[in-house]
Amino acid sequence: MNFPLYIAKRYIRSKSSQSAVNIINFITFLVIVIGSAALFIVLSGFAGLKTYSLNFSESFDPDLKASPTTGKFISISQDQEKKLTAVDGVLAFSKELEEKVYFLHKQKSHIGYIKGVDNSYNNVTNVDSTLYFGEWGVDNLRGVIGIGIANLLSLSVNNYRSPLQVLVPKSKKTAFMNQGAINATPYNQHNIVLSGIYNVSDDLNKKYLFTGLTVVQKLLEKDSSQISGINFKIDETKNLETIKNNITSILKDSVVLKDRQEQNSTLHRMLNTENLATYLIFTLVLIIALFNVVGAIIMMILDKQQNSKTLYHLGTTIKELRRIYFVQGTLVTSIGGLFGVLIGSILIWSQLVFGWLKINAFLAYPVEYKLINVVIVLATIIVLGVIAAKIASSRISKKLIT
């Protein structure tokens, strides 16, 4: 067995004759365990929050989306639609037309977005899973709206006596042609009866009204070929880049294709930045806590000074003596990190199974167990422990021993 490792293990198992040294060693080990457990729990909590947040936002997002390269609208022919259907890896696609509009109901108003979708929309997104009340009934007369807009405008489902009014400014050409006409108005209007209300997040709940594609095209004075985007359902077993290239070759350079992460790039950056900031803060706490390791090893060096002197006279070199305390410090921090991750894992699994910590009466705090977090915590503890042990063991010198 390696001599420094053998002696270091003996030092870890044995108790000092000084009770103060034993207390310091115990507190040092406890700090390492608590610090590593706290770091693992926080990283698991942020992983759960990230997944939870993305699940809601991605219910609106398809696997792949084609948006105009310039401007707000693109045109797609029937021949292009047939070619898109034949693309290997495209399971389904749906056309949409989106524009900012003015909502009016019982003298209450709100500015939001109307999104016209075709019958294939539910095949490429999971938006119907966000329904809070009612059903997904989207056609030329009915629509689904966010709960935020519904509350602001006092809207209810299946209220045929008091439908939602949607107002859109007329184009300059239409407004000029109708100038001087009796009862002419500067906007196009369409009434929508709500069939359902969705609930996702505060910003999205106050943003969209989903209705039929053809009625939105008419409202915006667009023909049947004009849309603002195409949503794709992709076969995950196929190569995404190949699918993108095939779609681009059909739609030419008129569109830009974005996958799920690219569609939510801002949200991903924000969540990743928050996760990194939290990790750095807790790492700083661990760095401060691991100063205890330096102090504990130095106390051990002083406590075992006579033993070190004996080993030195028996032929042990200064370098080997330093290695003994270096290995001891590294072992203490590594074992403490393992115990901390084990305790953190038990707490995370209990939260996943029992949901003992809740956001409200019905929703447990989201957490996620990831092996990458285990690796990150252990690597952080071990690296910091190695640095602390190196600093402390460097105090060993020939002058101190003799």
Which residues of the chain have a pLDDT value below 50? 175-176
Residues 345 and 291: their CA atoms lie apart, in Å, by 25
pLDDT in tens, 2-42: 767 666 667 666 665 666 667 777 888 888 899 899 999 99
At 93 the three-state DSSP class reads strand
Cα angle 167, 173, 179 (rounded to 5 degrees) comes to 80
Residues 97 and 86: their CA atoms lie apart, in Å, by 23
C-alpha pair distances (Å), 282 with each of 38, 42, 275, 382, 384:
8, 9, 11, 15, 13
Q: What is the pLDDT of residue 176?
A: 47
Instruction: Output the DSSP codes for 3-50.
Output: HHHHHHHHHHHSPPSSHHHHHHHHHHHHHHHHHHHHHHHHHHHHHHHH
Say if strands 108-117 and 90-105 run parallel, antiparallel, or are unpaired.
antiparallel
pLDDT in tens, 212-255: 999 999 999 898 889 999 999 999 888 989 999 999 999 887 88
Cβ-defined contacts of 220-226 (< 8 Å, 24+): 220/97, 220/99, 220/168, 220/188, 221/170, 221/171, 221/174, 221/188, 222/73, 222/97, 225/75, 225/76, 225/77, 226/73, 226/74, 226/75, 226/97
Q: Is 160 exposed, middle or buried (0-12, 13-18, 19+ CB in 10 A)?
A: exposed
Q: What is the pLDDT of residue 362?
A: 73
